[in-house]
Each structure stands twice: as structure tokens, then as C-alpha cells.
Amino acid sequence: MKQSNLFTKTRREAPKDEMAKNAQLLIRAGYIHKEMAGVYSFLPLGLRVLNNIVGIVREEMNAIGASEVLLTALQEKGVWEKTDRWDDKKVDNWFKTELKNGTQVGLGITHEEPLTQIMTEYISSYRDLPRFTYQFQTKFRNETRAKSGIIRGREFLMKDLYSFSKNDEQHKDFYEKAKQAYKKIFTRLEIGETTHVTFASGGIFSRFSEEFQTVSDAGEDIIYIDEKKGIAINKEVYTDEVIAELGLDKKDLVEKKSIEVGNIFNLGTKFSEPLGLNFTDTDSIKKPVIMGSYGLGPSRVMGTIVEILSDEKGIVWPEAVAPFKVHILALQSENESIKKVAEELYAALTKKGIEVLYDDRDLRPGEKMTDAELIGIPHIVIVGEKGIKDSVVEYKHRKTMKTELIPVNMLVNTISAKINA
């Protein structure tokens, strides 16, 4: 894409009321726009990143046999009353509104209830189990404080997966697969090393839930990590009893702030019982379905990546989620030989299926460099007056900021190799 066709521009300053580093950088670089606290629009660059994250998550969900659906934001009161989660005194972050006829409706905070309800129409026998269903859907949560940029939104994109099993064995089998899928996802997103499976409170049906916590000073959670054993404990269950139960020693545990990027819950029959999701088992006895839920917020993950991988110059995207793989800068775009080399390279890389942002704008060289570093595309190719005389261009790796000179005639192969590396 030619940068002159991108309607966004970088900005020197983020809005004054924006406190979060992730949103500050994303707004300054033109990825998102703040509509109000906790409510952000995604501009072309931002939507590309979000879609890349969604694509990775979708691949891993499909790989474990889950089926994608799309439920609704508008929620009917009745189904939530059955599980006692409608009353604002019970669940305090509902947005509610009403139909013309006065009927109160809510905006989905999560989707256990409506999906369980749907499943009652399709599950009746052990032959119908197991089922695994997920969606990417906009959730609405009326947060009192929404100061963490796109990490805690009042409106945000969520991937929520639910499993339906006939017994504990079937449930545990999928639970383990989903856990491994999450590990793969965070590894592919290049935040795997700083993301820890963390024991947290489990609710009614399970001693613990498991959270995926990414270490970051921007986090709202506190966890205690045993690096050697690869186990962490959320502060909410950090007691001597739990430490002993998990076979850990307090002196090996290091306290860190962290961001919860994913969670998995054993729901047991918490939803299937009140909503009547039953099946007839092989023994002809009617039993409630065993459920699990597996959440992961793509927009929150995007914010987390910005928090932990950016540097003082700007954003540093992992290749798998970057809006483009290569950023070509024609430093002096009025210089015909520079323009020619830049456009040939742009055409050649694009032809190879490599996504390129080509800065063809009429701006000073310094501004183009500053913009490229702020935007954070992994591979930067600088076509400028200095090198062009010797038929070389400068290559800069955004993450390490290391530069090298590459002969023009070796450019396409060298850059392609770096991307695949």
C-alpha cells in the first residue's frame, strides 16, 4: 500500500486524557481513535493488526475442532434470570437499554447463557457430544474505570470458546487441547515467553481456573511466578495453603504485575442445569452437560503487545501481527532514481505476496524515519541519496535497530529471506 493512500497520519501528541501507553502509541501512530474512555475505533493500520491476531486465533481454534458462530449483543432478560446474572446487584457491569415497547434488554457482557440456550435445541443425546463452539464478538462491559487503553475496554473484541461434554474425561481431554492451543497462540504472537499459566480462583465447580498472564507494568493483576517450574499463582488465591498444594516454595516465587490475556474455566453444570441443557447418556439416564469456557481478547492482546514490545521510538510489532511486513521509505521522493528503485522494490515484493507499506509521501527524510519507527513495521528499507549513488539501500531491523547496506540488485532476495527467517 502506498502511504499516500493511507488517510491516517502520525501525531506528536495523544489526547491529554489518555493515560495508557498502549493507547497513546496506537493513537499517535494512527492505529486507533479514541471515541471515549474505553471505547476505541480501529483505523486501517489498527484493523490490519487486529485481523492478523484474529486470524491466528481462528486457525488454532479450528485446529482443535471448534466451530465458529456469531451471537448477538442484544440480550433477552429471561435467559439471564435463570442463572441469576441479570440483576445489576449480581452482575454490576451491564449496559442495559430498552425496546420501543418498554422491554428491557442488555448488551452481552459474555455469552454462556445465550449459547447454552441455543445448544438445548441441538444436544439431546450422548451422540451429540462433545461440541466446541467459538466466536469473535464485540462485548460491552460498563467498566467504572477504563484507563488501560485497549487493554480494558467498555466495548471490545472477544474470542470466547465454549465446550460441551458428556463427562469429566471428555471435558478434560478438550480442556487440555484448548490450553495447548492457547500456548501456541501466545507463542505465535511472540509474547509466549512472558506469558504464564497462572492458577486463579475457580468459581463454584472448580478449585482453580487457569489464566494466561503476561508480565507487564501496565497490568492490573499481581502474580507470583516460579520461573523454574513454569507455574504462577494469582494474588487472589496466593495463600500458604495453595502454595503448599501446588508444591511450591514461597522463596522461589517472584511478584510481578501482569495482564490477563486469556482464561479457561471449568464451568461444570453451572449453566447447563438452570438452562436445561441435558442429554441422555448411554445408560438412558438424563444428565446435565459439562461445560468449559475459554476466553481470549484480541484487542487486549494487541494492547499488551504494544505495552511490552515497544521502545522509546515507538511500537515494535512481531512479524505475525504487523500491519505490513516491510516499510519502504523513499527518503527523497522527488529524486527520480530514488523513486524508481523504491517503486521497483515495492512492486517486486508485492508480487511475491509480501505486504509492503511504501512511503511515497512528500515529506522531509527525518519525518519519514521518525514515522516509520513510531509505526513499528518490522523491516524498514531506506532508499536515500547517500546510498543510491553506490547502488545500495539501507536496511533497518525495527526490533534491534541494527542497520546494514544492501546492494539494490540483491534487495528482493535479501528482504524475502529476512521475512521468512
Write out the residues near its own copies by the rule CB under 8 A. Answer: 5-9, 11, 30, 33, 35-36, 39-44, 46-47, 50, 65, 67-76, 95-100, 105, 107, 114, 118-119, 121-123, 128, 131, 133, 138, 140, 142-144, 154-155
CB atoms within 10 A of CB 96: 13
How many Cα neighbours within 13 Å face the side chain of 39? 10
Shortest distance, CB of residue 299 to its own copies, whole angstroms?
A: 10
Judged by beta carbon, residue 40 or residue 199, the one nearer its own copies is 40
Beta-carbon contacts of 389 under 8 Å, excluding residues fewer than 6 positions away, are none
Provide, rounded to whole angstroms, the least separation between the CB of residue 219 and its own copies.
Answer: 22
Q: Which is nearer to its own copies, 36 or 244 (CB)?
A: 36
Is-contact 220 261, C-beta < 8 A? no
Helices (H), 217-361: 240-245, 272-275, 298-309, 336-351
Coil/strand/helix, residue 7: coil
67-68 and 131-140 strand pairing: parallel
Helix, strand, or coil here: 140? Answer: strand
Q: Which is nearer to its own copies, 94 or 395 (CB)?
A: 94
Other residues' Cβ atoms within 10 Å of the Cβ of residue 242: 18
Q: Which of 5/187 has CB closer to its own copies?
A: 5
C-alpha cell recorded at residue 21? 501507553
Q: Give the residue with the Cβ less far from its own copies, 94 or 212.
A: 94
To which H or E segment does residue 267 belong? strand 254-268
Helix (H) or strand (E) holding 118: helix 112-119
Q: How far is the CB of 59 from its own copies (least distance, A)?
A: 15
With CA atoms as reference, report the closest residue to 406 among 417, 419, 415, 397.
415
How far apart, in Å, are the Cα atoms of 177 and each of 97, 194, 264, 278?
A: 38, 21, 12, 24
**β pairing state of 278-280 and 290-296:** unpaired
* Beta strand pairing call for 39-42 and 290-296: unpaired
Pick between residue 54 and residue 225 the one whose CB is nearest to its own copies.
Answer: 54
Which amino acid is present at 349? L
- Here the cell at position 419 is 521475512
Query: Toward its own copies, which CB reaches closer, 42 or 265?
Result: 42
Shortest separation between residue 27's beta carbon and its own copies, angstroms: 10
The conformation of residue 289, written as its DSSP 8-state character, comes to P
Nearer to its own copies, 11 or 207 (CB): 11
Of 33 and 179, the one with the shorter C-beta distance to its own copies is 33
